[in-house]
Chains A and B, each alone.
Chain A
């Protein structure tokens, strides 16, 4: 079982705002990172650290964290944002091992 918990599925109307959450004890100690994965493709990093976007990631993607919960927010969701989203962080043991959440399937209506 995953140490990071995500809702399996979330939907959003085109152009609206959606928040995808990730819960786990390790998030009280370590920042999460977020990955987007489209069918048949490798994951792509979209958010890391406090709220950092790699080059090429649209600014409609943002991240935040509070307590044991990390959140990925998409402001003005586009059709191309429909994908699976995974959070990732260090595990709660403090070792340099990582753990993924179970993933959230985002549907843009």
Chain B
């Protein structure tokens, strides 16, 4: 069974750090780009970060750039999100998601879609 399981969430004080993990199983983890998405209480989904299949390329939302670091260990089939300098507005459920890249012909290029999601892990930033 294809599965993603997040862990590492919890209560942390403002300015603190937390590392989230996402354990993958049931598929060839090293073949896929992976993303983190978060959802604040009662709010919508927000894209956070992505990493390519071998970990050589990453991108971040402006709201977390310079504070969060995405990484992966393909030998351990695990995705990570290191979160530093946490703020109250980082409070959210954090989901990891497997991403597929597909070619489109008109207009030419590639689009992405998230076909497998974990159940999420909750991060609460509060004093």
- Which residues of chain B have C-beta atoms less than 8 A from A31's C-beta? 102, 104, 111
Interface residues of B in 42-70 (CB under 8 A from A): 44-47, 50, 52, 57, 59, 61
**Contact (A42, B47) CB under 8 Å given A31-B104, A54-B115, A88-B114:** no
Count of A-B residue pairs with CB < 8 Å: 81
Interface residues of B in 83-99 (CB under 8 A from A): 95
- Which residues of chain B have C-beta atoms less than 8 A from A28's C-beta? 107
Q: Which residue of B lies closest to A2 (CB)?
A: B44
Chain B at the A interface: SS class: strand
Contact A49 B104 (CB under 8 A): yes
The distance in angstroms between the C-alpha atoms of A54 and B57, with both chains bound, is: 28
Contact A97 B114 (CB under 8 A): no
Mask, A67-101, CB within 8 Å of B = 1, is 00000000000000000101011100001111111
Q: Which residue of A lies closest to B60 (CB)?
A: A97
Q: With an 8 A cutoff between CB atoms, is A35 at the interface?
A: yes
Mask, B101-127, CB within 8 Å of A = 1, is 010100101111111011110000000
Contact A98 B112 (CB under 8 A): yes
The distance in angstroms between the C-alpha atoms of A52 and B31, with both chains bound, is: 22
The distance in angstroms between the C-alpha atoms of A86 and B33, with both chains bound, is: 21
The distance in angstroms between the C-alpha atoms of A56 and B107, with both chains bound, is: 29
Contact B50 A100 (CB under 8 A): no
Number of chain A residues close to chain B: CB under 8 A: 32
Q: Which of B45, B46, B61, B109 contacts A35 (CB 8 A)?
A: B45
Interface residues of A in 48-70 (CB under 8 A from B): 48-50, 54
**Contact (A33, B107) CB under 8 Å given A42-B118, A100-B47:** no
Binding site for B on A (CB under 8 A): 2, 28-33, 35, 37, 41-45, 48-50, 54, 84, 86, 88-90, 95-103
Q: Can you give 17 contacting A-B residue pairs, CB < 8 Å? A: A28-B107, A30-B109, A31-B102, A33-B111, A42-B95, A42-B117, A43-B114, A49-B111, A49-B113, A54-B115, A86-B44, A86-B45, A90-B111, A96-B59, A98-B35, A100-B37, A100-B46
